[in-house]
Chain A
Amino acid sequence: MSSRPVPQIGFSFEYLMWIFTRISGAILILLAIVGIAAAFWMGARTQLDVGALMRWTFFPNSYHVVNTNIPDVVPLWANAYWQIMQMLIIFFAVTHGVNGLRMVIEDYIGANRLRIFLRGLLFLFWMFMLIVAYFVILTV
């Protein structure tokens, strides 16, 4: 078993997703760096342990963190800028992940009805995750 071959360059779904995986991965790293830097700048240096820093970096949402109580951080994070950042992270992370799952399914399941069913299920999972996450972000 080895990794799938690189798709031919051209305007095909496989090629676009191949490019998207790489670009979204790089974007996620950039977003993580921005998030960590901003958390430190807003005082995480002295207030948070590692786990809480990560939670605030990737999903600064008061429903995400139950055991961490940092009153000073809430007014700084709860604005449109961080909501847009969260939505970007969620979009790229979920799409990157679902595309990865699709790769695994295509690798292990041959061309039959089960694969079509799983593709549909995966599409619904993708939509469900995005809708639920955006709902939580926007209704805080």
Chain B
Amino acid sequence: MLAWALHRISGLAIIIFVSTHVLASFFQHQLGSDWGTTINIIYESIYFQVFIYFVVIFHTLNGLRIVILDTWPGLLEYQREATWLQWLIFIPLYGLTIFLMISRAVSGG
């Protein structure tokens, strides 16, 4: 249930994120306007990225779990374990990404 709600919310967040990207590229490319640069500065900021990596990695792993469980319904018996496994993969993946980003930002790279 929580995974379902998070999947839906993260999906909506990704739609907004990808749409602004496409529009920003278009503004940048076609109009050469400041709008593109402004949107770029927003989504290249580290706070935004920490949020968006959570959303994207969660959506990916949860989606992968859903695909696997739907393809082999016999595995539904182990869906509790599958959810734990999903978070076990999520934590190092997200943690490593954030660690790399923050250490880079702190060292001024």
Q: Which residues of A contact B (CB under 8 A)?
A: 2-3, 6, 22, 25-26, 29, 32, 49-51, 59, 61, 63-67, 90, 93-94, 97-98, 100-101, 104, 129, 132-133, 135-136, 139-140
Contact = CB atoms under 8 A, between A and B. Distances in A.
B33 to A, nearest CB: 12
B19 interface: yes
15 contacts: A2-B1, A3-B4, A22-B67, A25-B63, A25-B64, A51-B101, A66-B28, A66-B36, A66-B37, A67-B41, A97-B14, A98-B15, A104-B12, A133-B22, A136-B26
Contact of B22 (A100, A129, A139): A129
Nearest to B67: A22
Contacts of A6: 70
Contact of A132 (B26, B49, B64): B26
Contacts, number: 79
A22 B70 contact: yes
B55 interface: no
B99 to A, nearest CB: 10
